[in-house]
Structure 1
């Protein structure tokens, strides 16, 4: 259908008494054995008239008819759900800290405890993994501090010499 036809329909009530015919559509239907006045389908009991375009004045969606009560129920459901979740989160944050941690003083291992469903097995694994990395980094720092200063200077000098040798090789 042309844009002019759509514009004409949108100005009125959206129903046209004039049938729209399409040369392409008509030829396709005639190739399949259809003739004017007969219905569509195997038993020819389908629609005979052309499909009418109905203008929608609301934003409810295709096929929706005066379901304002259902729409309001739906929005009420969302409001209730949001409010209940917000209340649970505020209750959780006031009684229990999500990022709070407890530690076992005997072993020195820290672990998080929470009843929040936000922590899954994966996030628990990530927390434990980050704690292990922190412990390893702490051990490395302690080893560095225990090492004599001369060893560190020797490594710096040897590294400088290696860089100089590499640069000489590149130039030659």
Structure 2
């Protein structure tokens, strides 16, 4: 079955878990969260996660500062994980558990230079500017790594598990004060 989360074509209470990775921000949560809640069984949960770069490590901060000299928007990290706040504030998911896990990716000098070369800012630089930038990135790498080792690029896996609350789905319908009432 293929369907949009804003219009799930199943009977109610069909699933125990719904999992969304790196995509919660792409949904219209005002429409999707009630649909997901309807599809979940009592006691079911919506799990959402994002893998985001962790810029707290000094060499990563220095790399970001270096790249931002050429492009102020470089390494801004717009992953969409702010949408996890909307899940935490949803009336359809009132009990939310959060966890974060650190994940490390080994990065060689060539990996880091390739990573920088693949950035959109590299396409906007002439060959001389790109050589200069890559030289500075290479110096940064050489100054941060221990001999015989590789650097490790840190990430955070941000995870939320939210248990469904069907009370909102089965509660009485209330007319807003400014609604138009048409007696039949």
- Normalising by the smaller structure, the TM-score range is under 0.3
Higher percent of residues as strand: 2
TM-score by length of 1: 0.19
TM-score by length of 2: 0.18
The structure with more radius of gyration: 1
Higher RCO (Cα < 8 Å, 6 or more apart): 2
